Amino acid sequence: MKQNPFDRPADPTPANPITIAHPTPLQWPHKGNFESLDMASVRRGYEVYKQVCSACHSMKYRYYRHFSDPEFGFMTEEEAKAEAAEALIDDLSDKGQPIKRPGKLIDRLPSPYPNKIAAEAANIGKYPPDFSTIMLARRPHGFAPRFNTNSNEDYIFSILTGYMDAPAGVKVDDGQAYNPYFPGGVIAMPQQLFDDGIEYKDGTPATQSQQAKDICSFLRWSAEPFHDKRKEWALKGLVLLPLVTVIILYMKKHTWSLIKSQKVKWHTVKGREPPSSQPKST
């Protein structure tokens, strides 16, 4: 049976409590200069967010209309409308009274908490970060951002699948958990993904690693909805680059050919010779 590249081997136990485990580089479907996002995985990742992550994390920069956008969406318009209608959106009635109504495409994804203070109070004083662009902000500890790297996905995947019992000498308070991939080892988010913790609509087995892969794909889509379009335009640019280069070189040669072919020669006019630099001997 073919091994799933996202199935993690034995959990790496750090040699000492302050050691930070480095994520294993994984072969993401969108890794590479001309690879596109796996939209089926993105859609399953939204299911993971909806059923698991949305209980604590907001996505205030994402609207339901983004799900059905003709350029980068992963749903039909009717499916996006149905998803929006399941949410209850805070609004005002015609008389100015606060009400809750079914969501529309123009609404952003609702936040699980009314404000930051309420979010911290419900999570042992820690504020759950917004997920809209978190894929661009989270990378392995000590790793500098590099061009065209998927280390952010590797890091989040490792965090979601790397929970283990704390080694001797590490204190973990109530509501916290130990994760060797998190700086310091102690993280305020307990393990959230479990085998068969959710049920995918397309029937894909919901293993822990599958859920982690799909939510990472969805977060990459959320952080870069134009991900595929960016690579598409880069490919078009590379196709046109040789033609543009030839035109530029021709115009350069045409513009400078007259100047570079000129020859300047100075003629001395009789009676207007320049003075001699050496004095005449007497």
Please enumerate, by residue number, every residue annotated as part of a binding site for heme c: 53, 56-57, 189
Do 104 and 65 meet the contact criterion of CB atoms below 8 Å apart? no
Single-letter code of the amino acid located at 77: E
DSSP symbol at 54:
G
186 closest CA partner among 156, 154, 163: 163
Q: What are phi and psi of 153, to 5 degrees?
A: -65, -40
Q: Is residue 264 helix, strand or coil?
A: coil
**DSSP code of 182?**
S
Residue positions in the annotated binding site?
Answer: 53, 56-57, 189
What gap in Å lies between CA 82 and CA 102, rounded to an integer? 10
Using DSSP bridges, classify how beta strands 186-187 and 98-102 pair: parallel, antiparallel or unpaired. Answer: unpaired
Q: Are 193 and 160 in contact (CB under 8 A)?
A: yes
CA distance 110 to 122: 17
Tokens of 223: 């952080």
Rounded Cα distance, 215 and 46, in Å: 7
